[in-house]
Chains A and B, each alone.
Chain A
Amino acid sequence: MTLPTAAGGAFRRGMRAFVPLIPGVVPFSMVAGIAAVQAGFTPLQSIAFSLIGYAGSAQLIAAQMFTGHSPTPLIVLATLIVNLRFAMYSASLLPIFGGVPLVRRWPLAYALTDQSYALTVGRPGTEGDPVRYYAGASALMWVTWQAGTAAGALLGARIPASWPLEFAVPLSFIALLMPVLRARPQVTAALVSAAAAVAAHGLPFRLNLILGAVCGIAVGAAVQRRAGRRV
């Protein structure tokens, strides 16, 4: 007689769906913690950064740019651009949030990640309570991420500088990029963006990142429009 809509059940099902992702999130979160302390954050600051910012790629970029002495407004702007995908996730999840009161939407929005978004979008068709399912996946993701960055921040200072550990940052991004390259507009956007970012590498404050992304999105959108017209 347990209906699949039972509240606690949906939360638990969401958590269970997240479990296979843990081995991937742990090293990524540890790298984020290590990168912050190696950039000059105290362990307390890197833990606070993880709690307040809670944005994997943005934490890594902020740490990298901080090391390069970029001005704070520019670092925040770069994390804004990198986090734009959250606006897309937020819009795409909106249809399942009908009837959820605004006070509860704030914490649920704060917990939005690539992982919890992907799991919720790919939830089983029988799932009767997608919001609680999402909350369960997001809660376990949050705990895993916070534990991982804290461990990285506390270990970070003890890692020998000769280890090429900073290379883990582009590697983590590679792992996130591959699943995103689903169709031609995305592949085009990635290729154009990479080429522009390399060509403009001499620009100060890693502005080549912003320039590259804008060029890639523009050309990718043109490819998307042409493909749309052909249909």
Chain B
Amino acid sequence: MTVWLLIVGVGVVSLALRASSLVLLRDRRLPEGLTALLGLVPAAVLAALIVPDLLFTPGTQTFAPLGPRLLAGVVAAAVAWRTRNVLWTLVAGLGLLVILNALGWH
């Protein structure tokens, strides 16, 4: 039941945001200051999602900043920067983490 509530909630929110200007605003414009703020949202949100995952061990959530996940994440970021390709980013990051884990670095 909770899951279905969650699904509908996320659906309503996602559609409302996508339709905000195209449907609801029709042909009026957003204020310029608001558009500028919205331009910063992707960078801020994605960074807040990524970095804690690289610095804390999963499960126990202990602070372990110099672990294999940070190294794999930095390498994946370099690959993403160069190739702009999700597949190569996933292959590089996951591949390196699997290798480092196999070498005994957890």
A contact residues vs B (CB 8 Å cutoff): 23-28, 31, 40-42, 45, 48-49, 52-55, 57-59, 61-62, 66, 72-73, 75-76, 79-94, 97-98, 102, 105-106, 108-110, 112, 163-181, 185-187, 189-198, 201, 208-209, 212-217, 220-221, 224
- Is A91 a contact of B38 with CB atoms below 8 Å? yes
Indicate if the CB atoms of A190 and B22 lie closer than 8 Å. Answer: no
Whether A53 touches B7, Cβ cut-off 8 Å, given contacts A91-B29, A174-B89, A178-B81, is yes
Residues of B within 8 A of A (CB): 2-11, 13-15, 17-23, 25-27, 29-30, 35-56, 58, 61, 63, 69, 72-73, 76-77, 80-81, 84-87, 89-90, 93-94, 97-98, 101
- Chain A residues lying within 8 Å of B54, measured Cβ to Cβ, are 170
Give the Cβ gap from B49 to chain A, nearest Cβ, in Å.
5
Given contacts A57-B49, A212-B44, A217-B44, 6 further A-B contacts (CB under 8 A): A167-B69, A173-B50, A174-B73, A175-B90, A180-B42, A216-B40
Q: Is the CB of A193 within 8 A of B44?
A: yes
Contact B19 A216 (CB under 8 A): no
With contacts A25-B86, A27-B87 known, is A87 near B47, CB below 8 A?
Answer: no
List residues of chain B with CB within 8 A of the CB of A97.
22
Contact B40 A170 (CB under 8 A): no
Q: In the assembled complex, which residues on chain B have CB atoms less than 8 Å from the CB atom of A190?
A: 43-44, 46-47
CB <8 Å contact, A216 and B14: no
Pair A52/B8 contact, Cβ less than 8 Å? yes
Partner of B38, one of A48, A84, A171: A84
Instruction: Give Cα A181–Cα B81 distance, bound, in whole angstroms.
Output: 10
Q: Please determine whether B55 and A198 come into contact, CB atoms closer than 8 angstroms.
A: yes
CA gap between A186 and B42 in the complex, in Å: 9
Which residues in A have their C-beta under 8 angstroms from that of B93? 167-168, 171, 174
Q: Are B86 and A28 in contact (CB under 8 A)?
A: yes
